[in-house]
């Protein structure tokens, strides 16, 4: 199993290029199942989760060709309607096949994703939405089956803002008969990117990016060429790296408008954040000022940046209250940060981070994708050597992160 080894204490300086967004690429690749012919996707990041998605598409019968960061998918050969346990357990976002399969084949059988480290993460709202569109939902032997000869448009209200729930219902509704309205829909940029991709394929979707999305069903979609948007969480991770190491990083190929909440929070800690058209320059400062943060659905501060920001607050000059409102168990990285010398107390969904003068390197264990990034950030500023174990979590969502940090001057490497 690979490890990341870091000798901390160096300010990171230079330029870094952001890769395509994992959480945009996954639903967009799945949407290729909605049409015959070759869809072409560019700026697709080279990640484990993308390879898992390609495995699912090929298992279902699609043809996939990949050359560097261009992936082509032909959904013509779609012949299976089932996503088996062995595939879903590797990547819970496999549930995103539900919408396209029911829309295209009238039937889907998908292994229920179990919980994960950060929470139970049920898919009840996905299933309620599909039932509203006329699908017959049955649960048996760990699988969910959804059946309907042709979905009919409906008004769907989400009790809780759900990103993949919104995406699944969008991909189900595009071929339904009549109009579908999604209320209290997720507003994330990845939802907008999926709507843009579907509209490029001939769908009629309006309101993506707002809490109310209107989808007029069409009879069929056509293949399209789509570029994946930059990853806003990778962008925020590098912004935080500049702040935590007191460095000066220019982030290229990003969309500053997607990280406004992160920019604002970092400014409050004293960092200088300079925004260009597709660049952001962040200069860290000393001391780092402690600030409170609460995670919220977009455009609020993203839950996927909570762990990374906690690493920064661990070395700030006061007390920071971090409140996690999206997932019920997303503080697993706290015990690992404590091993590096952080002073953090957790009570329910709130963590009180008392900044310390410095962290000291130690072996730590990654428990999920964003916790991995948090521990690497902490290692970059800790005195001495930090070894982050179980980096397979990291490889799910970051493309060659250690190489990018090394290009910015970090003493970091991967050992098998």
Interface positions with ligand EPZ (CB under 6 A): 23, 26, 93, 119-126, 160, 162-165, 190, 303-304, 326-327, 369-370, 397
Identify which of residues 116 and 321 has a Cβ nearer to ligand EPZ in the complex: 116
CB 41 within 8 A of CB 26: no
Identify which of residues 118 and 380 has a Cβ nearer to ligand EPZ in the complex: 118
Which residue(s) pair with 15 in the sheet? 250
Q: How far apart are CA 332 and CA 310, in angstroms?
A: 12
* Shortest distance (Å) from residue 52 CB to ligand EPZ: 11
Active-site hit among 13, 39, 116, 254: 116
Q: What's the Rg (C-alpha) of the chain?
A: 21
Assess whether 148 carries a catalytic annotation: no
Of all helices (H) and strands (E), which one includes residue 380?
helix 369-381
Q: How far apart are CA 30 and CA 171, in angstroms?
A: 9
Four-point Cα dihedral 223, 76, 156, 110, nearest 10 = -140
- Measured in residues, the chain has a length of 416
* Shortest distance (Å) from residue 21 CB to ligand EPZ: 9
Identify which of residues 104 and 187 has a Cβ nearer to ligand EPZ in the complex: 187
Identify which of residues 121 and 267 has a Cβ nearer to ligand EPZ in the complex: 121
* Shortest distance (Å) from residue 157 CB to ligand EPZ: 13
Q: How far apart are CA 118 and CA 304, in angstroms?
A: 11
* Shortest distance (Å) from residue 108 CB to ligand EPZ: 16
Identify which of residues 162 and 250 has a Cβ nearer to ligand EPZ in the complex: 162
Question: In 315-357, which ranges are continuous DSSP H helix?
Answer: 333-339
* Shortest distance (Å) from residue 190 CB to ligand EPZ: 6
Of all helices (H) and strands (E), which one includes residue 196?
helix 189-200
DSSP string computed for 312-344? HHHTSSSEEEEE--S-TT--THHHHHHHTT-EE
Enzyme catalytic residues: 116
């Amino acid at each position: 199993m690979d490890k990341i080894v870091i000798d901390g204490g160096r300010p990171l300086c230079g330029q870094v290029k952001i890769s395509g967004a994992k959480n945009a690429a996954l639903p967009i690749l799945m949407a290729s199942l909605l049409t015959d012919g070759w869809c072409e996707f560019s700026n697709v990041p080279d990640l484990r989760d993308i390879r898992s998605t390609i495995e699912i598409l090929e298992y279902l019968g699609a043809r996939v060709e990949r050359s560097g960061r261009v992936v082509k998918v032909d959904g013509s050969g779609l012949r299976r309607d089932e996503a088996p346990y062995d595939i879903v357990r590797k990547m819970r976002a496999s549930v995103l096949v539900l919408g396209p399969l029911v829309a295209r084949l009238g039937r889907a059988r998908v292994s229920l994703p179990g919980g994960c480290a950060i929470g139970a993460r049920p898919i009840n709202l996905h299933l309620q939405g599909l039932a509203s569109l006329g699908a017959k939902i049955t649960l048996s032997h760990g699988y969910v089956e959804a059946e309907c000869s042709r979905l009919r448009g409906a008004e769907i209200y989400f009790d809780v803002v759900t990103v993949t729930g919104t995406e699944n219902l969008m991909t189900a509704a595009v071929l339904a008969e009549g109009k579908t309205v999604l209320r209290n829909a997720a507003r994330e940029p990845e939802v907008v990117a999926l709507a843009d991709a579907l509209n490029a394929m001939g769908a009629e979707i309006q309101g993506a990016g707002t809490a109310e999305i209107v989808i007029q069903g069409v009879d069929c979609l056509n293949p399209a060429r789509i570029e994946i948007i930059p990853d806003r969480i990778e962008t925020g991770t590098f912004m935080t790296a500049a702040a935590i190491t007191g460095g000066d990083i220019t982030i290229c190929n990003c969309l500053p408008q997607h990280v406004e909440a992160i920019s604002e929070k970092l400014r409050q800690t004293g960092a200088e954040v300079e925004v260009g058209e597709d660049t952001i320059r962040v200069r860290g400062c000393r001391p780092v000022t402690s600030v409170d943060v609460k995670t919220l659905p977009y455009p609020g501060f993203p839950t996927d940046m909570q762990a990374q920001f906690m690493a920064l607050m661990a070395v700030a000059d006061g007390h920071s209250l971090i409140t996690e409102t999206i997932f019920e168990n997303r503080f697993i990285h706290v015990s690992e940060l404590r091993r590096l010398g952080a002073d953090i107390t957790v009570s329910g969904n709130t963590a009180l981070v008392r900044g310390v003068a410095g962290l000291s390197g130690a072996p730590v264990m990654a428990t999920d994708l964003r916790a991995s990034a948090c521990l690497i950030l902490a290692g970059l500023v800790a005195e001495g050597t930090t070894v982050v174990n179980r980096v397979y979590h990291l490889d799910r969502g970051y493309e060659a992160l250690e190489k990018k940090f090394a290009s910015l001057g970090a003493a970091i490497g991967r050992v098998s």
